[in-house]
Every structure is written in structure tokens, then in C-alpha cells.
Structure 1
Amino acid sequence: MGVRKREMAERIKAEKKNLAFAKLNNCPTSPRKMRLVADLVRGKKVEMALAILRFNQKEASRRLEKLLLSAIANWEAKNEDASIEDADLIVKEIRVDGGTMLKRLRPAPQGRAHRIRKRSNHVTLVLGSSSKVNTETTA
């Protein structure tokens, strides 16, 4: 392996150490409904995101709240010596992808049938620290 490639791999590995992932597969909610709730917490601090999800009335918010708590637990397991308050965690990325579809038939008038698609989704949540890099400009 070349020097540049090794340095790049080490840098990516160091960046991933500060991240924590949680994934929810085959959640029986349509991706469109889940994205409405996911957009509310994207980029927010973890404490604020938990408050938003706890007091939102949509069913998808309950599932995302549980997923966020799981991501926090994963971060704590990875960084045992650090505390959440000092880390200043944010919801760095939240992605809602379409999952498998259950296809059903519903009777329709005049002997016809309509297809009913029961959608599901996959949610990936990434937590990261919001460390702001101080860039000094030389004039």
C-alpha cells in the first residue's frame, strides 16, 4: 500500500472513531411519512432531537426516538471515557431508504382487482461531534 493511500485510510479511520451508527431495517411505515419526521431532526443536537421526537405526535417519531437512543448507546460503548454533554453530539446524517413492499390485492368493482402496496423503509442514523474547525485567514 502506498504512503498516500495509507495516510488517507488512517485519516478516515480516525474520523469514523467519532461517529456512531444505528440502523432500523424493514420498518412498516412508508418512507414518505418517515422522511417528514427525519427532516425535523437532521442536523440538530441530540438533546434537541430527543425533545422534538418525544413530543411529536406522529407514529414514526416513536420509532426514530428509539433509534436515536440506540445510536447514543452505541456512541457510549465506543467512547467509554467521554460524556455526552462534553461531546456536543449532533445528528450528522439521517437517511430513509425504501424497503421491501408487501403487495396485496383488494377487490374492486366489476370483478376487477386493485394492487395495494404496503411499503416499508430502512433508516440509517449517524451521530457525530459538532467540533468546529477554527480556520484563520492570513491577510
Structure 2
Amino acid sequence: MEAVAKLRNYPTSPRKMRLLADLIRGMKVDQALAVLEHNTKHSSVPLAKLVKSAAFNWKAKNDGADESALVVKTIMVDGGRTLKRMRPAPQGRGYRVRKRSNHVTVTVDTI
């Protein structure tokens, strides 16, 4: 039985988060956590917390089951809300700055 955890409106662009998501997709949970722990990217910390949360959700659903075979089955990164801000530009103009965010969904299950 699979378990799901979601991270909503995290203020990092989806493109940057997808780099890490592609890195851990299909890995065992303990191996994915080790990879994320030693990664230097800013988004690795919340992604590691999300994988841990999904693993704990699976553990709560399946009492007494073996959790050593848990695998990151699916991980999806979707665009979240975009905050629109203005930045001063030459000659009285204003450039639009889009501050992007993302939604991450992790599903874990046994092999």
C-alpha cells in the first residue's frame, strides 16, 4: 500500500526542484535521503523532509511491515502560484519579476 506526502507553495522555481526530483526518482528511501543530505542545492532540505514524511505516512498505514524495501515510486513537481513584482528599470520603466513557487508530490511504496 503506497503513501503520499505533499509540499505546497514552496518558494523555489519548479525547474530547480525538478533537478533534485529527477535525481532521487526510483531510489530506495534511505539512499535518496543520503543523496539529498549531501547535496548542496537549497531545495534538498525540504525535499528530504518530504521524503521522510512520506516514509512515516507509509509506516503509519502499514503497521509492522518491513520498511527497508521502501522506494520513491513517483515524485512530481508542478508549478505553484507566481508572485508578480516590479523592479525599477531605466527611463522610468518597470520590469516584471515573477517569483515562482512549486508543488511537490511524493509517493513511496515497497518494491
State the TM bucket, normalised to the shorter chain.
over 0.9
1:125 partner amino acid: V
Say if 2:67 and 2:110, in contact at 8 Å, map to a contact too. Answer: no
Gaps of 5+ in 2: none
Q: Which runs of 4 or more aligned residues in structure 1 lie more than 4 Å from their structure 2 counterparts after TM superposition?
A: none
User: Which residues in structure 2 correspond to 1:1-139 (within 5 Å)?
Assistant: 18-85=1-68, 88-130=69-111
Task: List per-residue Cα deviations over 1:54-97 (Å, max 9, x = no partner).
Answer: 10010111010000010011001001121312xx1110000000
Q: Which has the larger radius of gyration?
A: 1
> How big is the shift at 1:33?
0.4
Q: Kindly report the root-mean-square deviation, in angstroms, between the aligned alpha carbons of the 2 structures.
A: 0.6
1:68 partner amino acid: V
| Larger relative contact order, structure 1 or 2 (CA cutoff 8 Å, min sep 6) | 2
Aligned length, in residue pairs: 111
Q: Secondary structure at the match of 1:117?
A: strand
| Structure with higher helix content | 1
CA distance in structure 1 between the partners assigned to 2:26 and 2:80 by the alignment: 24
Per the alignment, residue 137 of structure 1 pairs with: none
| Structure with higher strand content | 2
Gaps of 5+ in 1: 1-17, 131-139
Per the alignment, residue 15 of structure 1 pairs with: none
